[in-house]
């Protein structure tokens, strides 16, 4: 019974950190501090990669500039079968299919 941390524990800890960082990121973005918001997303992504823990889908951010999605940072339109989101910071378009799979 040493102090070794197994994989499940690693991802649990990583998930808690990712959730917290993404929440902080959105908060900063909604206050207009996009740079700080992006930094939090960047840290969350690093943790995600290092621990091979996926960032949950509900945390939407721009894959190009890491701006988290908040009402102010993305323009949202509804397409036929998807939601089209345009990053207001860099113009990257993100399309999210809806009605499709519903997990959990
Ligand atoms: Zn962007």
Q: Spell out the domain ranges in the chain.
A: 7-97
User: Digits of tens for pLDDT over the chain (104 positions)?
Assistant: 556 778 889 999 999 999 999 999 999 999 999 999 999 999 999 999 999 999 999 999 999 999 999 988 999 999 888 999 999 999 999 998 876 555 55
Tell me which residue has tokens 């900063």.
28
Distance 89 CA to ligand 1 centre (A): 5
The model's pLDDT over 71-101, given as tens digits with 9 standing for 90+, comes to 889 999 998 889 999 999 999 999 988 765 5
Distance 86 CA to ligand 1 centre (A): 8
Tell me which residue has tokens 């040493």.
2
Q: What is the pTM of this model?
A: 0.83
Query: What Rg do the C-alpha atoms of the chain give, in angstroms?
Result: 15
Q: Contact, 62 vs 91, CB < 8 A?
A: no
Distance 43 CA to ligand 1 centre (A): 16
Distance 68 CA to ligand 1 centre (A): 9
* pLDDT at res. 80: 87
Homologous superfamily assigned to 7-97: Immunoglobulin FC, subunit C (1.20.5.420)
């Amino acid at each position: 019974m040493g102090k070794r941390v197994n994989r499940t524990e690693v991802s649990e800890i990583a998930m808690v950190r990712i959730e917290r960082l993404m929440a902080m990121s959105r908060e900063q973005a909604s206050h207009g501090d996009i740079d700080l918001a992006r930094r939090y997303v960047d840290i969350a992504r690093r943790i995600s990669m290092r621990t091979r823990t996926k960032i949950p889908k509900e945390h939407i951010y721009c894959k190009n500039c890491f701006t988290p999605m908040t009402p102010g940072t993305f323009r949202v339109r509804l397409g036929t079968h998807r939601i089209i989101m345009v990053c207001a910071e860099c113009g990257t378009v993100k399309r999210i299919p809806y009605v499709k799979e519903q997990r959990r």
